[in-house]
Structure 1
Amino acid sequence: MNFDWQGRYDGDEALYQRIFQKVKSGTQFSDIKEGDFALQGFAVDEGVKRNKGRVGASKAPDVIRKNMANFPVVQADFNLLDFGNLECLDGNLELAQDNFAENVSDILKSGGKSIGLGGGHEITFAHYSGMRKAFPDAKIGIINFDAHFDNREPENGLATSGTGFWQIAQEGVLNSLHIGIQRNSNTLKLFDTAHQLGMNYILAEELFFENLPRLYIEVNRFLESIDVLYVTICMDVFNVAIAPGVSAAAYNGIFADPAFMSLYRHILASQKLKALDVAEVNPEFDIQERTARLAACLVNEVFMV
């Protein structure tokens, strides 16, 4: 663990504790106990670069950590191990993804829950690959909060931040539900690919309070159909007013309003949840660390279940 976790100190008693007081340095995955959270930073944006996006997301993990540090601890048995950041050397994205996947597999086999801080959304293929190594016979479901499908075919054989779900589909049946998809952010080809690959989706325009009963039914149907769950959040799903620091800003993105938070918390409450990450936080374009703060809040929600 390279990051120096610091925050407001009110005391050591359980009622006063904040997250920074409970983080331990992760050195060996064998130290993980059942139910522990294991955190890794994916300090990589080579996939964003290849996808012609705004680079800078590789600097995000520690900024997100800083914004996580002061949240109160609300669960008595809360334990968080920080295994530091994984980087991409010499532009070798594939090696970085493989290394992250190996770590995820070790975390899950030890009984922990995997938390990833991106980095670009190329973290998706890495995180999923780790789950597949840990649960080779399970039906893995992915819920992706994103404005984009990320189902492009690799150009010249090179994966990017936008190819993750296409890559996953090439390895077997894809079980995914995409929430927050924007009509104006995906070409007809990408919608067609989504249909061909069996990608379920909820458009951004469908995410409003009065529509929650129908959305709960759709989410529940998906959760019932899988064995284990991985949730990934691309921060460009949110409106640029609350998430300006992303690789592709969304001027009509969704908000973290009661409708979104109700649905999100419902998903996190699933006993099948094994892994979660946030991606595409770009500190170079952030304002007052709004995007990093929102990402930290979304990660913190899983610690409160």
Structure 2
Amino acid sequence: MIWQGRFDGEEPLFHRVFQRVREENNYDNISTDDFVLHGFAVDEGVKRNKGRVGAKDAPDVIRKNMSNFPVTLPDFSLLDFGNITCEDQDLENTQSILAEKVSKALSKGGKSLVLGGGHEVTFAHYSGVRKAFPDKKIGIINIDAHFDNRQPENGVGASSGTGFWQIAQEGDIHSLHMAIQRNSNTLKLFDTAHQFGMKYILADELFFENLPSVYQRIDDLLDEVDVVYVTICMDVFNASIAPGVSASAYNGIFADATFMHFYRHILKSQKLVALDVAEVNPSYDIQDRTARLAACLVNEWLMI
């Protein structure tokens, strides 16, 4: 059993997340403001992107690390719809399946939470948001060292690095990419970002004294869109706190006060309807550090 933790009592003041999770398969049982969880147990896109596979095993490990967090809101409810897996290496069909499930959850008034899996989850999750809100302007905040706007290779298809290229093919893109690393993106990828109108903040710009400017950049995006989707690639973090990823970063950012200030600023937006964490790779993790960090980041949304 994945959802288990310390039991202190049945009274609501004692509750931890595992006591408020309900495993579900009927989307008609979703109520407004329920958190609706899907696991994207897929890393076919990482494989296609020539990365280190293993992220498909992450959703259950992240669940385990979420279980024991205290519940802080009286009406908190989390519905777990299980994992989606990739059959016969058919990533495109798997992405469509997740998109359909996310759309159902959002159409019922739920808040979509997805545990990756590789960052190929981005196109799938975004597609579900777009399906649920076809007439809304969708904003994406991507906390990642990479733009993930690579054009798919002939004969390979979509991958964990092509999500924003795919999104841009469907129309105007409204995105803010935070913690972009200069040494992790070629000039071609920077050029593509400019061509698509992808706004970004370099990792070097994320320091405490610069928070007013960071807040303004976030607010500029929030003001111009109707709904917001946040995606976090765990390889954005320093290898010392997130060793279990496909592409570890010696100079990645830390989940320090600066990060938590702007991250919570994003989470407080009433426009936020969907969030995912991607690229946790348990095969390379140490003492569940990366999975635990991912769980903590998810839990921040559960407490807002």
TM-score, scaled relative to structure 2: 0.99
Letter in 1 for 2:243: P
Partner amino acid for 1:33? S
Within 5 Å, give how 1:1-305 maps onto structure 2.
4-156=2-154, 158-305=157-304
Distance 2:24 2:218 in 1: 34
Q: Tell me which stretches of 4 or more aligned residues in structure 1 moved more than 2 Å.
A: none
Deviation for aligned residue 1:73: 0.1
How far off its partner does 1:47 sit?
A: 0.1
State the secondary structure of the residue aligned to 1:143: strand
Q: Report deviation, 1:27.
A: 1.5
Report if the CA contact (8 A) 2:2-2:63 is conserved.
Answer: no
Which whole-Å deviations, capped at 9, do the CAs of 1:189-221 have from their partners, x for residues lacking one?
Answer: 000000000000000011010100111111111
How many residues are treated as equivalent by the alignment?
Answer: 303
Instruction: Tell me by how many angstroms 1:4 deviates.
Output: 3.1
Q: Which one-letter code corresponds to 1:201 in the other structure?
A: Y
What's the CA shift string for 1:27-74, capped at 9, x where partnerless? 111100000000000000000000000000000000000000000000
Letter in 2 for 1:86: I
Distance 1:15 1:207 in 2: 37
Cα distance in 2 between the residues matched to 1:51 and 1:116? 21
> Aligned with 1:34: secondary structure?
coil
State the secondary structure of the residue aligned to 1:223. Answer: helix
Q: 1:149, CA displacement in angstroms?
A: 0.1
Q: Whole-Å Cα distance in 1 between the matches of residues 249 and 178 of structure 2?
A: 14
Counterpart residue type for residue 80 of structure 2: D
Q: TM-score, normalised by structure 1?
A: 0.99
Residues 239-276 of structure 1, C-alpha deviations (whole Å, 9 max, x = no match): 00000000000110000000000000000000000000
Cα deviation for residue 26 of structure 1 reads: 1.3
**In structure 1, what is the Cα distance between the partners aligned to 2:31 and 2:73?**
16
Quote the RMSD (CA, aligned, Å). 0.6
Q: 2:62 & 2:197 partners in 1: Cα distance?
A: 33
Indicate the SS of the match to 1:64: helix
* Structure 2: segments with no counterpart, 5+ residues: none
Alpha-carbon distance between aligned partners in 1 of 2:75 and 2:169, rounded to the nearest angstrom: 39
> Aligned equivalents of 1:50 and 1:57: distance in 2?
13
Q: Equivalent pairs: percent with the same residue?
A: 71
